[in-house]
Amino acid sequence: MTNQTAHRCPWGSVEDTEMQNYHDHEWGKLNLDDQYLYEMLVLELFQSGLSWSTILHKRENFRHALKNFEIEKVAQMDEHNIDELLLDKGIIRNKLKINAAIKNARAILKMKEEYGSFAKYLQNFIPSPIMHHPETVSDVPVSNELSQKISKQMKKDGFFFVGPVIIYSYLQAIGLINDHLEDCDFKYRA
């Protein structure tokens, strides 16, 4: 099967190769590496109010600006680093989101101390991936009771920009929820 003949979820069937690659190789595919989990949390929080395509096209810039998403290094960032990031035209220059990315790195470090890893923290809510495979895009929720529960707990645990919609999208991104459509050729690869 070539990329041209593959049947994808509608949002992955666009002329944007970044979107296609993300759909085909990442979205819905379980990845519980803590650094990847942090990267996706950062990208999801920056995506709030913007298109996912915009974020994917700035992903390498974010990677460079946020120290390759190394949690310990980002957690040490200070006001001077924030001021530098606010001048970086390659990323989304939103001070609240930049602060949230740093605070979330610190929160992840606390969860790693308590649970052994951020992945284990998340797996307390979802021990194994949830496979939905809805028939149409309209059947895919933007949030659910689980994302509301996780969002509420994450806020209590010191995370920021983790509302139920962001968390649902995040769970899809890291593969804890797999919402590839029923007729998508990539649903079982996840």
Q: Is 22 a catalytic residue?
A: yes
Options 27, 38, 39, 44, the catalytic residue: 44
Q: Is 133 annotated as a binding residue?
A: no
Q: Is 113 a catalytic residue?
A: no
Burial of 120 from C-beta contacts in 10 A (0-12 / 13-18 / 19+): middle
| Cβ partners under 8 Å of residue 17, min gap 6 | none
Q: Is 44 a catalytic residue?
A: yes
Strands 130-131 and 177-178: parallel
Q: Is 23 annotated as a binding residue?
A: yes
Owner of token pair 């309209």 = 138
| Cβ partners under 8 Å of residue 188, min gap 6 | none
Options 27, 38, 52, 170, the catalytic residue: 52
Q: Is 184 annotated as a binding residue?
A: yes
Options 22, 121, 168, 170, the catalytic residue: 22
Q: Is 7 annotated as a binding residue?
A: no
The pair phi, psi for residue 120, each rounded to 5°, is -65, -35
Q: Which residues are catalytic?
A: 22, 44, 52
The binding site consists of 9, 23, 180, 184
The binding site for Zn(2+) consists of 9, 23, 180, 184
